[in-house]
Structure 1
Amino acid sequence: MNLIETQTVAGHNGEEVIQYTMKNSNGMEVTVLNYGCIITKWTAQNRNGVYENIVLGFDEFEPYLTKSPYFGAVIGRVAGRIDRAAFELNGKSYDLEANEGESTLHGGEQGFDKRIWKGTIGENQELVFTRTSPHLEGGFPGTLELKVIYRLLEDDTLEIEYEGTTDQTTIVNMTNHSYFNLNGDLSKSVVDHELQLKASRYLPLKDNLIPTGELASVEGTAFDFRSKKTLASGINSDDKQIKIGGNGFDHPLVLDENFNQEIVVNEPVSGRTLTIETDQKAVVFYSGNQMDADMTVRGCETQKHMALCLETQNFPNAVHEPSFPSTKLEPSETYRAKTRYIWTVK
């Protein structure tokens, strides 16, 4: 039976920062803050039955305000980069916050990851977060009513569901930005993790990490994970796109299937396997290329390739690419997205 414990851990802008810890009967724990819906801790067992934390996060709240590269957070209103920090929608122009060069990254400087959400415990011990994103928050049009649901199951599966409705046409593309290291030991990098992806196409990037608009075949590239291989095999390649990504991966891959074991990560030493299934069209695979030695996480100095992210979402910068699947949300529609994280051990 999944149980949820709550604890007030800090204050922020006059509001309480509340920590929720979900536990199932196997021993898995998932700890989430109402600030940014951030997953701060997520334990999974190794082949010896030992549960260890397999995500990056801080032990205290304060570093999340100034140091966190989106550790474990819900991202929105639009995940990824929006070129030129502006867009047109229904004949109107909207200016956004340019928080990465001339681009908007992950919703701007004060995206969903920097907001206090209202947390409640729903039926069947679901953890439900809600908030209202007002019209022109971060420059985005429309008042958006949001819901994010975390559901920990008895088989060591975590489900995350997203919902949103708007009062005028807007764009939405949400994801979770957890950083995974399946070793359970952050002194070890993820380059020896093995990845298999049901993705026959990927989105090449320009030098500013904005998609070019092309859907390229993975055949013969570092992005071909249709058969299982180590991250190192791609990171160490001379593929030009790997260099653009910062000597690693920071690219959207187009999923060929949904809810059919389309993303599988394995760590051979611990035996941990993470299978990710989703209804989203793509996954942004980031191999921690920008993690320089400028902070400490659980006693370990951050380093390049300390962790990997697998951000299930629609295509980044879709508002500027008519050929990409649309991220537009109309008042008559409900935005819905769902991703399932399944932990097993070999």
Structure 2
Amino acid sequence: MKIEEKLFGRFENKEVKAITLTNSKGVSITAIPYGAHIIDWTVPDKDGNFDNIVLGLSNLDDYVAHRPFYGATVGRVAGRIADGRFSLDGKEYNLPANNSGNHLHGGPKGLDAVLWDYKTAKTEDEATITFSYVDEAGSNNYPGTLTVEVQYTLTEENEWKITYFAETDEATLFNPTNHVYFNLHGDAEKDILDHSLYVNADSFIELNDNTIPTGNLQPVDGTPFDFRDAAPLAQATESDHPQTVAVKGLDHPFVLNHEGNEPDAILLDKDNGRRIIMKTDQPSIVVFMHNGASDTVKINNQPIQAYAGVTLETQGFPDAINQKNFGNTVLRPGEKYFSETTYQFHLDTK
């Protein structure tokens, strides 16, 4: 295992390094302490060509200016909180409404938009970056001072493990995710509609017109949300289902079945053999297909097209604090938050 660091940019008069972990197979991940973003995951295809399979920008200034969430650590709470409001222990809280009247991805200065501390370590079998940050009480109007660690580990088995730890001194909300976008072509100018997706989920969470959960779980049977038998992502864009038409594809939480040691999701590019196998301890994944183009955010000096990448965002149910039977996203003093998600790269050579 190898760890390398090089200057990536400056933020608030501090140097920001790009940290690269590389295993003996030449597979590498690169992350930056600004927002604990992953900016590169370089892997081979069946012909031996190495490419970056995640959407990443070439300089820090673009992450700061445009905040595209590419590979970002998102929090305190991933997704939307309806109207930016919630009640906790009898007290009402109003969060910044930074997305069409709702609170999105932790607010205007979420965990993706701050500079984390970090340290690195390695053994013969794995290398790890541990990012740490103290989010003070009142940040984005959240209660409690939150102490967070996020570990990125690359193994000799081509696993990228994300491990979250957190503690608080006052009851607060915590439901993080990583907003990595995969494009297994290794080319953001090629869309991901031909990628094959498997999701081990019998139901998905219905959204209203403002992309807020209605509270209803809908069966995937007979819908474009049924990926239990692996289907192209184009299944969602070609459907006339009201839920997919409303967002021009997918931007929905899938309720994971968690059956034994089976994968929770698999993403495959059949042409080049690149496969990502995902496992998580979280109850849902949000599959978002980068449903819109962007003229301002560019990769290799080219504007980002629609469907340039797809996320598999592992998390608790969105807006859980305002929904019945959506699980617990409250973290209290004395509790230790822990969660782990693994994305493993495989190469199909046949």
**1:53-102 CA distance string (max 9 Å, x none):** 01111111110011232011100000000001111100111111111011
Q: Aligned ranges for residues 93-112 of structure 1 at < 5 Å?
A: 93-112=92-111
Matched residue, 2:71: 72
Q: Which residue of 2 aligns with 1:250?
A: 251
Residue range with higher mean Cα deviation, 255-264 or 107-116: 255-264
Match of 2:51 in 1: 52
Shift, 1:123, TM fit = 5.2
Give me the whole-angstrom Cα distance separating, in 1, the residues matched to 2:30 and 2:317. Answer: 29
Question: Structure 2: where are the runs of 5+ without partners?
Answer: none
CA contact (8 A) 1:206 1:244 kept: no
Secondary structure of 2:213's aligned partner: coil
% same residue:
36
Match of 1:180 among 179, 182, 202: 182
Amino acid corresponding to residue 251 of structure 2 in structure 1 = D
Q: Please state how far the C-alpha of 1:5 moved relative to its aligned partner.
A: 0.9
How far is 1:184 from its partner?
A: 1.1
Q: Is the 8 A contact 1:117 1:131 kept in 2?
A: yes
| Correspondence for 1:321 | 323
| Cα distance, 1:149 vs structure 2 | 0.5
Structure 2 Cα separation of the partners of residues 122 and 21 of structure 1: 12
Aligned with 1:295: secondary structure?
A: strand
Whether 1:10 aligns to 2:12 is: no
After TM superposition, the structure 1 = structure 2 runs for residues 13-162 of structure 1, keeping only pairs within 5 Å, are 13-122=12-121, 124=123, 125-162=127-164
The amino acid across from 2:309 in the alignment is A
Deviation digits for residues 134-154 of structure 1, max 9, x if unmatched? 111111111111100011000
Which of 236, 239, 243 is the aligned partner of 1:237? 239
More strand by share: 2
2:167 is paired with a residue whose SS is: strand
Partner of 1:340: 342
336-345 vs 290-299, which moves further? 290-299
Matches within 5 A, 1:266-345: 266-345=268-347
The two structures, once aligned, show a CA RMSD in angstroms of 1.2
Q: Residue 10 of structure 2 contacts residue 60 of structure 2 at CA under 8 Å; is this kept in 1?
A: no
What is the TM-score of this pair, normalised by structure 2? 0.96
1:165 pairs with 2:158: no
Residue in 1 that maps onto 2:226: 224
Give the secondary structure class of the aligned counterpart of 1:69.
coil
Change (3 A) 1:62 1:95: same
Equivalent residue letter for 1:255: L
AA in 1 matched with 2:252: H
Say if 2:237 and 2:244, in contact at 8 Å, map to a contact too.
yes
Deviation of 1:337 (Å): 0.9
Contact preservation (8 Å) 1:76, 1:113: yes
Unaligned 5+ residue runs, structure 1?
Answer: none
Instruction: Please state how far the C-alpha of 1:244 moved relative to its aligned partner.
Output: 1.8
